[in-house]
């Protein structure tokens, strides 16, 4: 006979068949606490959707996106998501080495023709059913800054505007990266996820964003499924309830 869940769901709602609810109660594993944001501060089309708990690579390989935004550099991309995509997409002719060679050729041209002042540039990689827009890390640094992120996503937003064939689009969060770190130079450390979202949103990006997998361990902190966040968060910051 099936055991009853230790804490029955409200109003008789059940999530799993058979013993599923009892087995999945208080599971000691990585998780997020997703909060409802019913009082949305902006229409759906003006929001960034946050894909908590979803495997980005699997979603891309499954063909859920036509465009992906990530960081690339002219030195070594073997640890980046673009190298993993090149391996997983069966018809892609790219590899970590050819991605880096292409980025290096692009970077050499920028430096040769005095275009470094306009960095970072967007380098396109056609991987058959998905186009990767690579935010090229400036040649003089081993990391991105928030100013780089702002300029890069302003250009990404322009490249997406009116181009329905490039939608839907997803981006990495640029946090927790190994090859292309994002640094808030005023603090000398990574910015918050909220700062990243605010920067992307301010310059017109309205696609999906996948949080860094490390964020899945912060189950004690409530998160929202989209940005801008509900006004209630700012109200609590001001001491409200």
Which CA distances in Å does 231 have to 38, 198, 228?
A: 11, 14, 9
Contacts of 89 (CB under 8 A, 6+ apart): 61, 127, 128, 129, 130
Q: Is residue 143 in a domain?
A: yes
Residue 142 lies in a domain: yes
Total count of domains within the chain: 1
pLDDT score recorded for residue 8:
53
Return d(Cα 58, Cα 153) in angstroms, integer. 24
pLDDT in tens, 37-91: 766 556 678 999 999 999 999 999 999 999 999 999 999 999 999 999 999 998 8
Residue 4 lies in a domain: no
Share of the chain above pLDDT 90, in %: 68
Query: Before 219, cis peptide (omega within 30)?
Result: no
The residue behind tokens 């450390």 is 189
Domain for residue 170, yes or no? yes
**3-state SS class at 182:** strand
What three-state secondary structure class fits 77?
coil
Structural domain including 67 reads 51-212
The pLDDT value recorded for residue 1 is: 40
Give pTM, 2 decimals. 0.90
Report if residue 233 sits inside a domain. Answer: no
Domain membership of residue 118 (yes or no) is yes
- CATH number of the domain that residue 87 is part of: 3.40.220
For residue 39, tell me if it sits in a domain.
no
Q: Is residue 46 part of a domain?
A: no
Neighbours of 141 (CB within 10 A): 15
């Amino acid at each position: 006979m099936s055991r009853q869940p230790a804490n029955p769901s409200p109003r008789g709602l059940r999530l799993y068949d058979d013993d599923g609810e009892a087995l999945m109660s208080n599971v000691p594993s990585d998780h997020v606490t997703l909060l409802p944001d019913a009082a949305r501060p902006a229409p759906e089309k003006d929001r960034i959707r946050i894909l908590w708990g979803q495997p980005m690579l699997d979603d891309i390989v499954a063909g859920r996106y036509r465009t992906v935004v990530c960081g690339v550099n002219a030195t070594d991309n073997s640890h980046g998501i673009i190298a993993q995509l090149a391996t997983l997409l069966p018809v892609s002719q790219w590899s970590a080495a050819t991605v880096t060679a292409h980025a290096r050729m692009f970077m050499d041209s920028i430096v040769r023709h005095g275009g470094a002042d306009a960095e970072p540039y967007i380098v396109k990689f056609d991987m058959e059913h998905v186009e990767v827009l690579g935010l090229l890390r400036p040649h003089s640094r081993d990391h991105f800054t928030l100013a780089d992120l702002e300029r890069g996503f302003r250009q990404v937003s322009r490249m997406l505007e009116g181009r329905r064939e490039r939608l839907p689009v997803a981006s990495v969060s640029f946090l927790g990266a190994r090859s292309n770190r994002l640094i808030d130079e005023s603090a000398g450390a990574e910015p918050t996820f909220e700062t990243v979202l605010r920067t992307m949103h301010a310059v017109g990006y309205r696609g999906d964003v996948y949080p860094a997998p490390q964020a899945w361990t912060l189950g004690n902190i409530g998160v929202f499924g989209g940005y801008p966040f509900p006004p209630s968060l700012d109200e609590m910051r001001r001491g409200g309830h």
